[in-house]
Structure 1
Amino acid sequence: MATIEEILRLEPIEKDIYRGPAFASSLVRTFGGQVAAQALTSATHTVDETYHVHSLHGYFLRPGNPDKQTVFLVDRIRDGRSFVTRRVTGIQDGETIFSMSASFHVRNDEGLEHQDLMPPAPQPTELLDRHDDANAEDKAVYREWDNFDIRIVPREKMVTNDYFAAQQRVWFRYRHPLPDDQVFHVATLAYMSDMTLLGSSRVPHRGVQAQGASLDHAMWFLRPFRTDDWLLYDQTSPSAAGGRALTQGRIFDLQGRMVAAVTQEGLARIGRVLPKDQYARQDKGAAPA
């Protein structure tokens, strides 16, 4: 598995045009988090360092080929005094596979401040490493993420809310020390945020196999953080209907600060299930056929 540094090392091929590398993969589709992280990195390269990204909204339009590089075209939509906006288009074989808008905000602006409390959860060191604990069907997927430590909180150790239809909590971090640059950690979290979130929609449907793939992905970056430190991903799925599932996540650091929020809709079809050996690989892919 490639390191996150290799994944985010884009090649500039013309003004506002970048090429993201491809790596050997057992996934049948390019991992959605990789496409989003590379697109965000491309946008960041066109923005002055006095601004930081505060939100992104992306759509997975076609399945990406994990064996092929992706070209990212950045459109400078707006350069304002407080906010900067970029649109990024990810292309393979002349076709758009991903489209994203990203908004950047001037640093050190001041205003109201509050946040939800971090939900209770056992410490990550009390839980098994998902890489070691994964069942046989999941192991191919988690080999893709060897550099990430992923620990799902067992149901019996969760404090749940009866008003929520589906809940899941996951501790995760990058296993190796990363540069101090906050821009790098933001792009890394964009990559990580696609891990396990759609799985929260299957919590009430144990044993039911559904075709899953990311349809869209939105993130808000709220406070500085490090992705090589533990982060708690508090996930819910408020609704699933019509072959789609809506999922939401709040991300907290060890100090209880809410550092990011995520909303994602994914495919949740039944009746069109892939063969079992392909199902686990496809479930962590990018877009549906």
Structure 2
Amino acid sequence: MTNEALRDLLDLLDLERVEQDIFRGTSRPSVVPRVFGGQVAAQALVAAGRTVCADRLPHSLHAYFLRPGDPGAPIVYTVDRIRDGRSFTTRRVVAVQHGQPVFHLSASFQTHEEGLEHQEPMPAAPDPLTLPTAEELLPRHAHRFAHPQVVERLLEARAAVDVRYVDEPPFASVGEPREPKSQVWFRTNGKLADDPLLHVCLVTYVSDMTLLDSVLLAHGRGGWTVGDVVGASLDHAMWFHRPFRADEWLLYDQESPTSQSGRGLARGRIFTADGRLVASVIQEGVVRAPRG
């Protein structure tokens, strides 16, 4: 059964086709006063995917966040058909608001083929059902947040996707620098249709939720929710290795190798519950102490 929040998210990803290669999307309320980066990345990938043959699925994307998106205005996605080859298809998407580009995506799609196979082993992680839900975890730490309404906004933002932290998240361990590593389990709060592109786009959406946590953990910072960091995604890259379902448990294993110059780098690996490596993620973001 699909809950109301998940239905709203699926509606958000069901873009309106304005012209053959032009699409329009809306936004949902965000926990920050700008469009959530995972949303615009997922919508751009939807737009690209709708111009590609159904037997070709995304195997990689590379994106830049250019300007903060306005959640009160529609976003127009223009798709450029760069190349249609025998095995690979390339698309470029520009997202525009108020006459200015806010996001740029390049994505490559491939027909399925057999090839050499190997992968890293899945790291150890507890059963997700033994971990607290957002409804159980967030109220415990309400006293740490910069504003009383943060818990409510976070719960609304996580209502469509069940995200469970393996260890304490950054906002629960302020002032306690830790190894720059973080793990979360996630799945949608409801079953999804058997549309492989939809599952890829939903994982793209979730991939931007927690990736910079590992940067914050290295410095004992809680992030924007606590008010000790100003942050925003700068660029985002993903590679999709094997089929998966976003409505089944996925382990997001994340780490940060470096931060400097007001920027932090984070990388992640996404595994199925049975240990298959299905996606790799790298992101750089602004991570600054508040000025003044």
Relative distance call for 1:71 and 1:166 in structure 2 (3 A) is same
Name which structure has the greater RCO, CA cutoff 8 Å, separation 6+: 1
**Corresponding pairs, count:** 265
Aligned-partner SS, 2:212: helix
Is the aligned partner of 1:54 residue 2:67?
no
Matched, 1:111 2:115: yes
Aligned-residue sequence identity (percent) comes to: 49
Work out whether residues 76 and 87 of structure 1, in 8 Å CA contact, stay in contact via their aligned partners in 2: yes
Q: Deviations over 1:117-174 (max 9, x none)?
A: 1000110011000232113235222321211111111269xxxxxxx95100001111
The match for 2:284 among 261, 265, 286 is: 265
Alignment partner, residue 268 of structure 2? 249
* Cα distance change of structure 1 residues 142 and 201 upon mapping to structure 2, 3 Å threshold: farther
Normalising by structure 2, we get a TM-score of 0.87
Aligned positions of 1:1-12 closer than 5 A: 1=5, 3-12=8-17
Spell out, residue by residue over 1:161-213, the C-alpha distance to the aligned partner (whole angstroms, 9 max, x if none): xxx95100001111111111111100111101111111111112114622111
Residue 41 (str. 1) matches residue 60 (str. 2): no
Given that 2:134 and 2:158 are in contact with CA atoms closer than 8 Å, whether structure 1 keeps it comes out as: no
Partner of 2:194: 180
Q: Secondary structure at the match of 1:3?
A: helix
State the TM-score, normalized to the length of structure 1: 0.88
Per the alignment, residue 214 of structure 2 pairs with 200
Q: 2:233 aligns with which of 200, 214, 225?
A: 214
Please state if 1:148 is matched with 2:152.
Answer: no
SS at match of 1:268: strand
Work out the CA distance in 2 between the residues paired with 1:199 and 1:26.
16
Q: Distance in 1 between matches of 2:189 and 2:164?
A: 12
- Deviation, 1:3, is 2.5
Q: Which runs of 5+ in 1 are unaligned?
A: 157-163, 274-289
Matched, 1:126 2:130: yes
Q: Secondary structure at the match of 1:98?
A: strand
Is the aligned partner of 1:72 residue 2:85?
no
* RMSD of equivalent CA atoms: 1.7
- 1:82 matched to 2:101? The reply is no
Aligned partner letter, 2:166? V
Do structure 1's residue 63 and structure 2's residue 68 form an aligned pair?
yes
Structure 2 residues not aligned, in runs of 5+: 170-177, 223-227
Q: Provide the rounded CA distance (Å) in 1 between the counterparts of 2:184 and 2:254.
A: 8
